[in-house]
Amino acid sequence: MAKNKINKNWIHDHINDPYVKLAQKEGYRARAAFKLKEIDEDEKLIKPGQVIVDLGCTPGSWGQYARRKLAGKEGGGINGTLIGLDMLPMEPIADFHFIQGDFREADVLQQLESVVQGARVDLVLSDMAPNLSGIHDADAARMEHLIDLAIEFSQAHLKPEGSLLVKCFKDMGFNDIVLKFRAEFKTVIQKKPKASRDKSSEIFLLGRGLKNPTEGGMASAQPLDSEGWHP
Ligand SMILES: C[S@@+](CC[C@H](N)C(=O)[O-])C[C@H]1O[C@@H](n2cnc3c(N)ncnc32)[C@H](O)[C@@H]1O
């Protein structure tokens, strides 16, 4: 199909997409909020008091959703800790500790770890996807690499009963990724929320409960303060 036609189709779908309209109505920065919302409502992932790490968080709709779940009824601050990371900048979200950088780079991972260190993480979210080159095998390898890093991070920082939710694509190394999840997590569930377009091979994998929790993830207990720093 010609590029122009693809663009026109995308714009047509986008304008008529009920989740785009709903996102505007409910003040979310992206329709992606409804993917997390549906998964959360099914699986009861997000609860007050939790420490949540949001990988690939820009423009911030997952962060906004998580913040609303952690906020008290009367407004004010949140009960819990939200830390997000993205290579692109993000408009601030109140009570959300944002780190800008590439998750694949050691110094960025170190920055994230220095914020997280001491806090036991309840939930790691990853909506990261690489910029697609169009070369399938290269793109699949990049996607798998990002997910490997998210699994490694979760293995090191999650509470034993914590969870990891990652975006995958069915045509990008998915079976391998499922096997890796099964090796690390007690329960592994596939989720295709309604807001994830049927046309897309996007699917989410949820791993719950580490099979082999690390000492570090279990021993540390000092929570971050409301601004995301160690007291
Ligand atoms: C689909 S968007 C995330 C949308 C977000 N969940 C929301 O609800 O607003 C994917 C994000 O992953 C980020 N990303 C991709 N690769 C990354 C990497 N290596 N390190 C950090 N962020 C990355 C992109 O910059 C992009 O902002």
Q: What is the pLDDT of residues 113-142, one digit of tens each?
A: 999 877 899 999 999 999 888 899 999 999
| pLDDT tens, residue by residue, 41-76 | 999 999 999 999 999 999 999 999 999 999 977 767
Residues with C-beta less than 6 Å from any ligand 1 atom = 29-30, 32-33, 56-62, 85-88, 102-104, 127-130, 146
The reply to whether 139 falls in a domain is yes
Residue 23 φ then ψ, to 5°: -60, -40
Domain count, the chain: 1
The reply to whether 104 falls in a domain is yes
Mutate to test the pocket of ligand 1, among 20, 93, 128 (most ligand atoms within 8 A of CB): 128
pLDDT of residue 222: 46
The reply to whether 229 falls in a domain is no
CA count, 13 A, side-chain hemisphere, 30: 15
The reply to whether 52 falls in a domain is yes
Task: Indicate which residue's Cα is closest to atom 10 of ligand 1.
Answer: 128
The DSSP letter of residue 35 is H
Element at 70 (helix H, strand E)? helix 61-70
The reply to whether 56 falls in a domain is yes
Amino acid identity for residue 143 in this structure: M
Full domain range(s) for residue 151: 31-216
Residues comprising the chain, all counted: 231
The whole-angstrom separation of Cα 163 and Cα 124 is 6
The reply to whether 9 falls in a domain is no
52 neighbors 125 (Cβ within 8 angstroms): yes
pTM of the model as a whole: 0.90
Among the listed residues 162, 169, 215, the one whose alpha carbon sits nearest the alpha carbon of residue 52: 162
State the distance from the centre of ligand 1 to the C-alpha of 219, rounded, in angstroms: 30
The whole-angstrom separation of Cα 86 and Cα 228 is 16
Q: What is the mean pLDDT of residues 185-210?
A: 96
Task: Residue 200: give its domain's CATH number.
Answer: 3.40.50.150
| pLDDT tens, residue by residue, 18-34 | 999 999 999 999 999 99
The reply to whether 141 falls in a domain is yes
| Confidence band, pLDDT 50/70/90 cuts, at residue 15 | confident
147 neighbors 170 (Cβ within 8 angstroms): no
State the distance from the centre of ligand 1 to the C-alpha of 131, rounded, in angstroms: 10
State the distance from the centre of ligand 1 to the C-alpha of 20, rounded, in angstroms: 18
- Among all residues, which ones are annotated catalytic? 167
How crowded is residue 83: how many other Cβ atoms within 10 Å of its Cβ? Answer: 23
Adjacent-strand bridge partners of 148: none
